[in-house]
Amino acid sequence: DARVTQTPRHKVTEMGQEVTMRCQPILGHNTVFWYRQTMMQGLELLAYFRNRAPLDDSGMPKDRFSAEMPDATLATLKIQPSEPRDSAVYFCASGLETGYQPQHFGDGTRLSIL
Amino acid sequence: GQQLNQSPQSMFIQEGEDVSMNCTSSSIFNTWLWYKQDPGEGPVLLIALYKAGELTSNGRLTAQFGITRKDSFLNISASIPSDVGIYFCAGHTRGSNYKLTFGKGTLLTVNP
């Protein structure tokens, strides 16, 4: 089965460092979503793209987070500078916009900021 | 924004028992989706529902799209240890622009 691929799977770094998380959506999918999962907040939508264009990033702290899709096979989420409160699991999901097709998730990047 | 109320928050059952969990909302949903998340992995789609009243099965799992379009349930029959995990409901509301609203999840523990 086709899957969303996320790298790295784990990242531990010190506060203040830049963090870049990458996502390869399922081939042919034209919507890409970034989520953050914590015990307290559950799954939070950070940003999403359709046909590589950002549609909504209202869930993202603008001062330190940025999301891009350099091409159809790569989405990136960057945090600069990172803070301990950014520690969470970050998921990427992709889907097809037609007919409210379900989103399919990657296995996430587990981020720890010390 | 839209909220999904998922219950129960957690369940502890014996292997072989049937399980039922549900999600309700004050908003009308165009789709209902049920995902399962195993530790250290991402949510995996179990069942997708697209029409009010739709009843869909996937092996021992059955889910229904409520007639009012404001609720959905998931049943698991004859539970087995590998059913352990967190189950999430999710859905698209009208005008959501393809964003999913998620429930908080139901943590299922199955005692062998």
- Summarised one tens digit per residue, pLDDT across range A12-40 is 999 999 999 999 999 999 999 999 999 88
User: Measured between beta carbons, which residues in chain B are less than 8 angstroms from residue A41?
Assistant: none
Question: Each residue of A55-111: pLDDT tens digit?
Answer: 888 889 889 999 999 999 999 999 999 999 999 999 999 998 776 788 999 999 999
The CB-side HSE value for B70 (13 A sphere, CA atoms) comes to 7
CA closest to B38 among chain A residues: A107
Half-sphere exposure (Cβ direction) of A94: Cα atoms closer than 13 Å: 23
Between the two ends of chain B, the Cα-to-Cα distance in Å is 40
Q: Which residues of A touch B49 (CB under 8 A)?
A: none
Alpha-carbon separation of residue A76 from A66, A69, B23 (angstroms): 8, 6, 32
The predicted model gives B54-75 an average pLDDT of 97
Distance CA B29, CA B48 (A): 12
Number of other CB atoms surrounding residue A84 within 10 Å:
10
Confidence (pLDDT) at B1 = 52
Who among A4, A43, A106 is closest to B102 (CB)?
A43
Q: Is A56 on the interface with B (CB under 8 A)?
A: yes
Phi, psi angles (nearest 5°) of residue B81? -55, -35
**Who among B30, B43, B97 is closest to A105 (CB)?**
B43
Chain A interface includes B78 (CB < 8 A): no
**Do B99 and A4 lie within an 8 Å CB cutoff?**
no
Round to the nearest angstrom and report the end-to-end CA distance of chain A.
36
Q: What pLDDT score does B2 carry?
A: 59
